[in-house]
Amino acid sequence: MVAVAAAGVLLAACSSGSHASPTTIVPAATTTVELAATTTVSTSTTIATTTTSSTSTTTSPPPAISSTSTSTVTSPPTTSPPTTAASTVAGAIPPPPEITPIDALSFPVDTEIEIGRSVEGRPITVIRRGDPGGARVLVVGAIHGNEDAGVAIIDRLASGPVPLGVELWLVRSINPDGQARHDRQNANLVDLNRNFPNKWGYLGTEGDWQYAGTRPASEPETRAIVALGDSVRPDLILWYHQDLFRISPSSGRDGDARARYAEITGLPLIGITGGTYTGTASQWSRTVTTDVGIGFTVELGPTLTETDITNHAAAVLAVAQELF
């Protein structure tokens, strides 16, 4: 076992049995970041959370999540219909729970690091690749468990060359429990894309497709990615969803980045509608980017071919090189 201490954060060897085998992603060994040594399952699997949902349960070992290895990634249409009404709860919005900071910039390159655990104990990991000190790009393959075609793009970026001047931070999924069930929400039935602490609001009730949870960042999955973003302070954050097949247009530098990405991938620039957009990941991501940084959502179609995967990976690198 190799352990690395950084700002009070313990890095320990992570078991590869609870998620896609990291050997298919990076050549180096998988390492675990323990945010707080509060609960230990075994010598090879350490739960790294500071606050656990009162309804959560931890299973060991969790079922593995298969990575995409075929030439076509298939996922059925999953974009939900517009909401009819948002349930508003009277009273002040409580603050998010305390989020333990991590020193992500001390993470080694080309090593899969665990940054947190899901409600059911599945690891949430990040891979740092490329040129440390280059333009920092955080890319998240899946936030909804039934919209995970973007994981194949992460795997391509994790195995291919990275040009000088680009530093990638690659997260396959922040919702491994939802992926295991092929459900939109996490195991607490919370829509993680309505649970982020920026512009959060009471929305829906348990079981609703946009249920925002009981408070901002109430879910361990949300807190894990918030801690990572706060530490990395990326120039660009990209989030993959399905299956509207579009990128919402914008203006200025943000608009230029979206237009360039759309040009390379063939996605049209069309507005995204059909929901109540409070506490979303893209809204939050703009609060942790650098002063010139941007973040936006990429809506994939229901499937990705090998050519599509190649083009999306190329678009990530091109936007990072040309605009930052």
Q: Is 277 exposed, middle or buried (0-12, 13-18, 19+ CB in 10 A)?
A: middle
- How confident is residue 237, by pLDDT bands cut at 50, 70 and 90? very high
CA-only gyration radius of the chain, Å: 18
For residue 274, what pLDDT is reported?
Answer: 82
Average pLDDT over residues 303-320: 98
Distance from C-alpha of 179 to C-alpha of 250, rounded to nearest angstrom: 30
Kindly tell me if the per-residue pLDDT of 298 is higher than 80.
yes
For residue 26, what pLDDT is reported?
Answer: 35
Tokens of 279: 């506490």
Mean pLDDT estimate for the chain: 79
Distance from C-alpha of 176 to C-alpha of 188, rounded to nearest angstrom: 12
**What's the topology of domain 72-323?**
Aminopeptidase (3.40.630)
Kindly tell me if the per-residue pLDDT of 158 is higher than 70.
yes
For residue 70, what pLDDT is reported?
Answer: 33
pTM, rounded to two decimals = 0.74
For residue 207, what pLDDT is reported?
Answer: 83
First to last CA, the chain: 38
Average pLDDT over residues 109-121: 98
For residue 55, what pLDDT is reported?
Answer: 35
Tokens of 120: 């059911």
For residues 90 and 111, the model is more confident at 111
Average pLDDT over residues 77-83: 40
Kindly tell me if the per-residue pLDDT of 262 is higher than 70.
yes
Distance from C-alpha of 79 to C-alpha of 242, rounded to nearest angstrom: 6
Among the residue ranges 9-23, 81-95, 304-318, the one predicted with the least confidence is: 9-23
Looking at mean pLDDT, say which of 51-60, 74-83, 94-103, 218-227 comes out highest: 218-227
Q: What's the angle, vertex CA 130, arms to CA 126 and CA 134, rounded to 5?
A: 105
- How confident is residue 273, by pLDDT bands cut at 50, 70 and 90? confident
Percent of the chain with pLDDT over 70: 72
The neighbouring-strand residues paired with 297 are 239
Q: Which of 192, 200, 180, 184 is nearest to 53 (CA)?
A: 192
- How confident is residue 307, by pLDDT bands cut at 50, 70 and 90? very high
Distance from C-alpha of 151 to C-alpha of 170, rounded to nearest angstrom: 10
For residues 220 and 14, the model is more confident at 220
